Amino acid sequence: MKRVILCLLLSVLLLPIHGNAESTDSTGFDLKALAEDTVFLANIDDPEHAVLGLERNADTKRYPASTTKILTCIVALEHGDPDELVTVSKKACNLSEKNSKMGLKPGEKFTLLDLLYGLMLPSGNDAAIAIAEHLGGSVSGFSDLMNEKAAEIGMKNSHFVNPHGLHHAEHYTTARDMAILSAYAMQNPTFAEIVSTVEHDAFSSDGRKITLHTSNRLLRNASAKNYTPYTCLYDYAIGIKTGDTHLAGKCLVAAAKRGETTYILVLLHGENAPEGKSGQSKDQYTVQRFYDAIRLFDYAFRNDTMTITVDDLISRCLPETYAIDLDPHRYGAKAVLYRVEWDRNAELTLPRWQAEQFALDPFPEENLRYEIKSYFAPIGSVAGTVSITFEDEVVFTGNLIADEYDYPPTPEPTAVPTFLITEETPVVTAIPAPDETPHPASSGWLTRLFRCNPGD
């Protein structure tokens, strides 16, 4: 059985499964089967390039709907103070019933941070306008800031005319540009916190509370009065934003993190529900983008792999020694040191997310399993094994070689005789003083750190 493991190094080569823009490898992931005609999946550290060929129409101009608010949010965070108060205008509240809203009222004051939660969780268009007017002087003035930021971070095929994403012919982007934007925005801790939040209470300056819930169904189950919505929660989801207009279709920009690996996924122009659909039958179209996201994320976490030699892994973080404290009354020695004998030439492979976990220094203890077969093995002999595990399966094993024992100090000799008296004869017998020859021990033991006890 092929032994596998990995550790992330800058020099290691990614071994992708190459494919065309419609499908990936022989497992048959067919992008044409997705409900969205525009797909782009990238590693957050390399947002310009697709992972495992998972892209379709990535540079085709599309309407972004409310995924626009990703740019609105990061521009606001970079131009404003989250604690500053923003006064809500009548224009911000003068929206039709079809608009998604935070629930603002004219003249109210909220902190910029609370408005950003209202922007990103329930996708409030009222919050978008209030933010734009406050920081840009007007919607068009803020749009200029948006386009400046887009150009600055390398969004080459995008143009924005408003902060909310309501349809306009000159308001467009591409899936690749949205991945670049999202990877950039997620570097901001406040942005990352907002988009991963499921529920938030916003308070106006006069104390009115608005409870906000995210529209991202990867993070939260929806509720309805007359039917049960579909569930599409995903354990590794960490944000980011939904979007939905008739011309843009069902849109989703999502991020998922497993271990130390984060993927950014952009799905645009998804299928709308046909006229007349309602309740759970309509919800099928609402949630399809989330189900498609889960399929794509799981595929990437499973198939995006890297290969490395054990020698490289050792040079990075894999331990080569192991020490145990012992009970000297039971084992004689106070401690024992083992040398780990690894096969340095072995080539090992695992998914990238586990790679970045194994790259941590020190090597993650939860992925090491030690088994001691003998606490009395002669120096230089095999005393047990150490295994590296992945998802509770042993993927690589090395030998533990007994290297050194640490014995208690020898008691000091005494010149005072010790007497034993028997009942039969009152004869006084002296017990000889202990041998002055000490047990073998290393002078280096005082500097060693023992990491565990037998049975831990």
Active site residue 123: yes
> Are residues 244 and 164 in contact, defined by beta-carbon separation less than 8 angstroms?
no
What contacts 451, CB < 8 A, 6 or more positions away?
322, 323, 324
Question: Smallest Cα–Cα separation from 146: which of 126, 125, 160, 127?
Answer: 160
Q: Point out the catalytic residue in the list 32, 61, 109, 123.
A: 123
Q: Which of 397, 302, 319 is nearest to 358 (CA)?
A: 319
Work out the end-to-end distance of the chain between its first and last CA atoms, rounded to an integer number of angstroms.
Answer: 30
User: How far is residue 12's CA from residue 395's CA, in Å, rounded to a whole number?
Assistant: 20
Q: Annotated catalytic residue: which of 11, 23, 32, 66?
A: 66
Active site residue 196: no
Catalytically annotated residues: 66, 69, 123
